[in-house]
Amino acid sequence: MKQLVLAGGGHAHVQVLAALAAQPLPGAEVTLVTPQPVLWYSGMVPGVIAGRYAPEEAQIDLAALARRAGVRLVLDAVAALRPETRRLRLAGGAELAYDALSLDTGGELSRDLIDGARDQALFVRPLHSFVQLWPRLQSLAARQPGLQVVVIGGGAAGFELAAAMRRALVAQARVTLVAGNAGLLPSFPRGVRHQALAVLKSRSVTVIADDAVEIEPGQLRLSGGSRLPCDAPVVALGVQPPAWLSDSGLRLAPDGFIATGATLQSVSHPEVFAVGDVSRRIDAPHPRSGVYAVRAGPVLTANLRAWAAGQPLTVYRPQRLALALLSCGDGTALASWGPLSARGAWVGRWKDRIDRAFVEAYREGARVGSLSLR
């Protein structure tokens, strides 16, 4: 039997598991290594914070999926990778050998990007810790009128979380978004940025276009030198490559993520597949988002089957444009696709349908086939 190890219960691997539940992989024993028994579906997390979804509605049960797929589940995290011996070392100390490895572990949010953040800030990743700690911030705001909450990060997650927190916190709490010196949603078209600013302004969320450089007790220092009152800093910056990649021997892209090619294989080690935020397609670079992790799922599944059967692999061409649906915290959402954008309650309902359908597709008894909606 060949040993296939799936590392990380990410957005593509849930599809691999669902496909294996429908049709096993002959000739291979499959193991999933992931630290949590559930995957938090990030698209619904701002809705959980806003109180629009119960936490269970935003979770995919990885343990149940693995059971249905006949996949051995190891609740642990990859701590080191030695591709020359085809072995993984796990954080708990165990070692795992593989013939083929598929990595969908996402990126990491470094604790050290902003001085003082490690000890004082709430970090949005890992999502399970963030969602677990969020009620503490909520009750602090209820006990301490005028609490100054500062979300740091002007990307889609920072925007959605600032809007969601404004919705969820008592009226006296103040929410500020420190968006970075490129401003709010820097990678989005001007019209979307304008609308997003208007949304936050209408909710009395102050947006500051400057970089946060240091968190001090009760305040946040910005790169321009000014200081901002800050009782509860929330770091929602983009992800970095996991620390264990740097000395793994896998070829990395200039930004430190795993360099992959058209068949989703590592360009240096073809028995290693990598998808989602942990990877970088060097032949066809695209932004890092859940959409691309989801879209890679079916091709990854097909290629893992082809690898096991010794057949040729399929080439995956990532889409050029991806639809972004940004929730505004109140049931409305902002849609952005290339130069087009729209906002309203109907966009919110559209996003809600897509998100719920994705999560529902992995529940016990769901029909396999409606998997790739995002």
Ligand X SMILES: Cc1cc2nc3c(=O)[nH]c(=O)nc-3n(C[C@H](O)[C@H](O)[C@H](O)COP(=O)(O)OP(=O)(O)OC[C@H]3O[C@@H](n4cnc5c(N)ncnc54)[C@H](O)[C@@H]3O)c2cc1C
**Residues at the contact surface with ligand X, assessed by CB under 6 A:** 7-12, 33-36, 39, 42-43, 45-46, 77-78, 104-106, 124, 157, 160-161, 242, 276-278, 288-291, 293
8 conformational bin, left if phi > 0, alpha if psi -120 to 50, beta if neither: left
Alpha-carbon dihedral sign for residues 34, 60, 252, 99 = positive
State in angstroms the smallest separation of the CB of 142 from ligand X: 23
46 vs 348, which CB is nearer to ligand X?
46
104 vs 210, which CB is nearer to ligand X?
104
221 vs 233, which CB is nearer to ligand X?
233
* Contact of 328 with 334, CB cutoff 8 Å: yes
Alpha-carbon dihedral sign for residues 196, 216, 115, 50 = negative
8 vs 329, which CB is nearer to ligand X?
8
221 vs 326, which CB is nearer to ligand X?
326
Q: Which residues contact 13 (CB under 8 A, 6 or more apart)?
A: 6, 32, 34, 102, 104, 297
State in angstroms the smallest separation of the CB of 173 from ligand X: 19
38 vs 173, which CB is nearer to ligand X?
38
Kind of pairing between the strands at 78-82 and 87-90: antiparallel
For residue 353, which of 12, 38, 43, 40 has the smallest C-alpha distance? Answer: 43
Work out the angle between the directed axes of helices 62-69 and 13-22 (0-180°, nearest 10). 40
Residue 51 sits at the vertex; the CA angle it makes with 34 and 54, to the nearest 5 degrees, is: 45
State in angstroms the smallest separation of the CB of 208 from ligand X: 20
State in angstroms the smallest separation of the CB of 226 from ligand X: 27
State in angstroms the smallest separation of the CB of 61 from ligand X: 12
Place of tokens 């208007």: 198
221 vs 336, which CB is nearer to ligand X?
336
CA atoms of 290 and 14, how far apart (whole Å): 13
State in angstroms the smallest separation of the CB of 119 from ligand X: 21
221 vs 300, which CB is nearer to ligand X?
300
State in angstroms the smallest separation of the CB of 216 from ligand X: 25
* Contact of 137 with 122, CB cutoff 8 Å: yes
Environment class of residue 203 by beta-carbon count within 10 Å: exposed (0-12), middle (13-18) or buried (19+)?
middle
State in angstroms the smallest separation of the CB of 185 from ligand X: 13
CA atoms of 94 and 5, how far apart (whole Å): 14
Q: Which residues contact 85 (CB under 8 A, 6 or more apart)?
A: 97
State in angstroms the smallest separation of the CB of 205 from ligand X: 16
State in angstroms the smallest separation of the CB of 188 from ligand X: 13
CA atoms of 10 and 78, how far apart (whole Å): 14
39 vs 230, which CB is nearer to ligand X?
39
Edge-to-edge strand order for the sheet containing 219-222?
212-216, 219-222, 227-229
For residue 316, which of 272, 251, 258, 261 has the smallest C-alpha distance? Answer: 261
160 vs 211, which CB is nearer to ligand X?
160
* Residue 69 dihedral angles phi and psi, to the nearest 5°: -85, -5
369 C-beta neighbours (distance < 10 Å), count: 9
